[in-house]
Amino acid sequence: MIKTLSKISFIGLVLCSKIAGAQTVPFSDTAFEGLKITLCGTSSPLPAPGRAQACIAVETPDHLFVIDAGSGSAATAQLSGVPLNKMRGILVTHYHSDHISDIGDFNLNSWVAGRPAPLQIIGPDGVDRIVEGLNIAYELDRGYRVAHHGVELLRPELGVLQSRTIREGIIEDKDGLRITAFEVSHPPIEPAYGYRLDYGGRSVVIS
């Protein structure tokens, strides 16, 4: 079930919960301006009925970035109609398991949806190790899926994750979208990042 919390002049905010038994919502092609926010996961590391772990999807008319990818969040995103074909990257705040465990499913689902470029996993020091491990873990699966569906549907190179290590500051500034990373306090983790996304005079900050 998708619950609309409010209509704000500069942001659409959607809470997605209680997905058991739900049907996939088709990707929306409805035109909109600014930023669209979908909470795909809001629980802690401990299991919570009907709630996936940490994940927020931020969409512009041309892009989709996901902040963190906790367990269950990829299914929630797809069931709620988040347009994974527009997915460009996952912005990781830190490397607790409840923030990264669905990276593999986001990669697969957006690949099948027609994502046009390799999925970037963007985060602080250590992201290259996470991505290297995931690429090794899913190597056999990628091969099976390409063999089954064919290279016309699943281009093999688009199933391989790419890592991007970042520092504080502006990390993306193109097509009208600016993304800024900033350090946050999350001992004993150093660094942990929050992100600000600016588009069309609207902003969202995730910390």
98 is catalytic: yes
Contact 14, 40 (CB under 8 A): no
Which among 29, 62, 68, 98 is annotated as catalytic?
98
Contact 23, 79 (CB under 8 A): yes
Q: Give the angle 103-105-110 at the CA atoms, nearest 5°.
A: 100
- Rounded to whole angstroms, the Cα distance separating 173 from 196 reads 12
- Rounded to whole angstroms, the Cα distance separating 4 from 39 reads 11
Contact 38, 18 (CB under 8 A): no
Please, how many CA atoms are within 13 Å of residue 174, restricted to the half-sphere of its CB? 4
Which residues carry out catalysis?
Answer: 98
